[in-house]
């Protein structure tokens, strides 16, 4: 399965990437990383990832807008929002737009691994 990592922080992209590589589950391979929604949409068209981790507060095109675009490009994409925005309204809006899971920053290695596992299992059941 191909995974795309979207976050405006290089440090956070690196941390997610490291955890994905270490987990070894589900044969996940990173097909690219994006710093904002515009890059994410472009990368999605080019690589058609199965999974995307998506930050919300980003320059140019934010995460919520990006989710709508990504789902239009690839209706089967599984999107895990990873954001510091901890209010319920934001999570509900992201899910309405087509995200499948929500992980609040700061997150631990175990939490991200578990969230990805849940996302993939839910995708297999659908």
Residues in contact with other proteins by the rule CB under 8 A:
8-12, 14-15, 18, 57-59, 83-87, 89-90, 104-108
Q: How far is the CB of 6 from other proteins (least distance, A)?
A: 14
Q: How far is the CB of 123 from other proteins (least distance, A)?
A: 27
Contact 96, 74 (CB under 8 A): no
Task: Tell me which residue has tokens 């997610």.
Answer: 16
Measured from the CB atom, the residue of 77 and 82 that comes closer to other proteins is 82
Measured from the CB atom, the residue of 50 and 63 that comes closer to other proteins is 63
Measured from the CB atom, the residue of 15 and 97 that comes closer to other proteins is 15
Upstream peptide bond of 81 is cis (omega within 30 degrees of 0):
no
Q: Which of 104, 66, 100, 94 is nearest to 80 (CA)?
A: 100
* Integer Cα distance of 6 and 23 in angstroms: 19
């Amino acid at each position: 399965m191909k995974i795309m990592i979207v976050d405006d922080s290089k440090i956070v992209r690196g941390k997610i990437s490291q955890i994905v590589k270490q987990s070894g589950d589900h044969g996940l391979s990173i097909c690219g990383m994006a710093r904002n929604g515009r890059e994410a949409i472009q990368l999605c068209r080019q690589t058609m990832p199965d999974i995307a981790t998506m930050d919300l507060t980003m320059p140019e095109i934010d995460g919520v807008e990006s989710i709508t675009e990504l789902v239009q490009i690839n209706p089967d994409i599984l999107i895990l929002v990873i954001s510091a925005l901890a209010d319920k309204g934001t999570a509900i809006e992201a899910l309405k737009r087509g995200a499948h899971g929500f992980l609040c920053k700061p997150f631990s290695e175990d939490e991200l691994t578990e969230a990805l596992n849940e996302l993939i299992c839910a995708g297999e059941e659908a």
